[in-house]
Amino acid sequence: MRKFGIGQSMRRVEDQRFLTGKGCYTDDLRFEGQLHAAFLRAPLAHGKILSINTDEASALDGVRLVLTHKDITAANIPKVPCLAPLPGIKQKDRPILAEDFVRYVGEPVAMVVADSFAVAREAVDLIEVDYDPLDAVADCAKAIEADAPQLFEEVPENRSFEWQTGDEAAVDAAFKTAAHISCITIRNNRVAPTSMEPRAINARYDADTGLEVHLGTQGVAGLLDGFSKLLGMDAQKIRVLTPDVGGGFGMKALCFQNMWLFCWRHGHCHSR
């Protein structure tokens, strides 16, 4: 193999494993006594949660735990913080599990922990949630109109922030003296990363060595810091390991609700 340099291609070293089925992803890991979690997610874009009944799910054989927002609040589990510190932003920390409202399709509403993933999925289907559907809007321009459905009462017009840069006076003066002014609307298409491997996480806790977290990610350092702050645990007692990753494209770079709740369940409950 030639020495690597600009303009020289490099033979990939991982393809043989992947093509022969020898890759090792998060879902391939198995630990002794491993339990499995599944989430109930919101089926509508906007609605008020009137009630959640988990009795049948909790009674199912093999179910170890069922959590809703009430359990999260009682345990003082912090919300996922906003990581976009833009000037003037009305930051909204995201709840681990939906509280009084759901605000997008797929928002986590409840979590089930069971002896197998099949049992966890079955229990999720037994959870009964009564929603009061509310109007929703997916068009950015229509979302800031005066009569648009509001996601948060304290964020009027659904306007998270206004970002302005440059010399406003100079720009106004230039427009006033311009011979011609052209107006154009630029629309960015919606981008949704679709990797072969969805987000997944596996973890185990040992009182002596601490918390060991395995997940497909795009960088362990930021997640390690997030887990440390969430759990109130010394980062030296947490190991974040990334096995093979089945694609990322930005969707595995940050902490999401399921990761926070999963690690809290291990690090907090097992430490007791």
Domain assignment of residue 96, given as a range: 16-146+200-270
Question: Do the domain assignments include residue 174?
Answer: no
Question: Do the domain assignments include residue 262?
Answer: yes
Question: Do the domain assignments include residue 117?
Answer: yes
Q: Does residue 73 come out as left (phi exceeding 0), alpha (psi in the -120 to 50 range) or beta?
A: alpha
d(CA 141, CA 65): 42
d(CA 228, CA 235): 5
Can you read off the two tokens belonging to residue 26? 């998060």
Instruction: Look up the pTM and report it.
Output: 0.87
Question: What's the domain count of the chain?
Answer: 1
Per-residue pLDDT of the chain (272 residues; tens, 9 = 90+): 556 667 777 788 889 999 999 999 999 999 999 999 999 999 999 999 999 999 999 999 999 999 999 999 998 888 888 877 788 888 788 899 999 999 999 999 999 999 999 999 999 999 999 999 999 998 988 999 999 999 998 898 999 888 888 999 999 999 999 999 999 998 888 888 889 999 999 999 988 989 999 999 998 888 888 888 878 889 999 999 999 999 999 889 888 888 878 777 665 554 43
Question: Do the domain assignments include residue 162?
Answer: no
d(CA 109, CA 72): 11
Measured N-to-C along each axis, helices 220-231 and 257-264 cross at an angle, to the nearest 10 degrees, of 50
> Are the CB atoms for 239 and 211 separated by under 8 Å?
yes
Question: Do the domain assignments include residue 217?
Answer: yes
Q: Residue 2 has what pLDDT?
A: 56
Question: Do the domain assignments include residue 152?
Answer: no
Q: Residue 4 has what pLDDT?
A: 64
Question: Do the domain assignments include residue 186?
Answer: no
Question: Do the domain assignments include residue 123?
Answer: yes
Residue 28's CATH number: 3.90.1170.50
